[in-house]
Amino acid sequence: MGQILDGQQLANLRACNLKKEVADLKKQDIKPLFCVINIGNDPSSKIYLRTKKRRAEAIGIEQRVYQLPVDEKQVYLLALIDQLNAAEEVNGIMIQLPVPEQINLSEALDHINPEKDVDCLTPSNVGRLWRGDHFVEPATAHGILALLQHYQIGLRGKNVVIIGRSSIVGKPLAALMLEQDATVSILHLKTQNLSEYTKRADILVSAAGQAGLVTANMIKPGAVIVDVGINRIAGKIVGDVDFAEVAPQASYITPVPGGVGPLTVESLMEQVVKLTRRNHGR
């Protein structure tokens, strides 16, 4: 049975350290504040917003949610972003995904000041990520690297396979792993013969959002398995990996829930504090 990569435990540990850091900033009259723009009433977004708010409050970070109607017009969204960009007390801005179809997400992200871009999704910050001189990192990718580092799982020279090419997980994670001298392959659901690639992976990350996608016959013995998938099946939350089948063959494996998820929220808070320090010359 592979060793469990306990993301919840690590998230709690890092939160304790971050809470002390925030307390020290407040003694200098520096108050971390980030704003979340939520458009519409997506149920998953509502859950995520509540989770973020609880974590922020526990650490001492202020989170403001700007709830916009599902039929909000692009021009008003851009005006709100301009307002938050100009507000000196705001250290971070993010748009909760998904957004309604009438919203041009690319244009909205382009509008966010890169110095307040918590998600690392503005064009300039994405470019910095691939250039290797970034000052903010996408939360899930940051959390995955923190988890591997905590368990002393090195990346140098390792063959890493990532299933999923999203701008939130797959692509930025590949960039960050390349920085640490891993050899990275990005797969997706249109890739033919997935197992030909996954069987060669020292570290396999699945962020495809398809329950049961990764089975035991797709991994090599002793591989490290990181499951980013969140799928709801018959009222239960499961990942992309068939945990019961794959765990006996893995050296390390993340559970779902309790693996990457808690670290995503914690890492978001860390990015807020990082931007707060930067915006105040700290």
Catalytic residue among 6, 63, 96, 171: 96
| Known catalytic membership, residue 6 | no
Catalytic residue among 119, 202, 227, 240: 119
Contact between residue 208 and residue 178 where contact means Cβ atoms under 8 Å apart: no
C-alpha to C-alpha distances, 29 to 88, 186, 236, nearest whole angstrom? 13, 44, 44
Q: In what order do the strands lie in the sheet with 3-4?
A: 3-4, 252-253, 224-227, 203-206, 159-163, 183-187
* Residues paired with 185 in a beta bridge: 161
| Known catalytic membership, residue 119 | yes
Under the phi-then-psi rule, with left for phi > 0, alpha for psi from -120 to 50, and beta for the rest, what region is 124?
Answer: alpha
Provide the 8-state DSSP code for 35. Answer: E
Torsion angle of alpha carbons 62, 32, 180, 211, nearest 10°?
10
Contact between residue 275 and residue 24 where contact means Cβ atoms under 8 Å apart: no
Q: d(Cα 37, Cα 264) in Å, to the nearest integer?
A: 18
What phi and psi values does residue 136 have, to the nearest 5 degrees?
Answer: -145, 150
Residue 113 burial (CB count, 10 A): 17
Catalytic residue among 52, 116, 158, 274: 52
Q: d(Cα 179, Cα 156) in Å, to the nearest integer?
A: 9
| Known catalytic membership, residue 181 | no
Residue 208, judged by CB atoms within 10 A of its CB (0-12, 13-18, 19+), counts as buried
Residue 69, judged by CB atoms within 10 A of its CB (0-12, 13-18, 19+), counts as exposed
> Catalytic site residues?
52, 96, 119
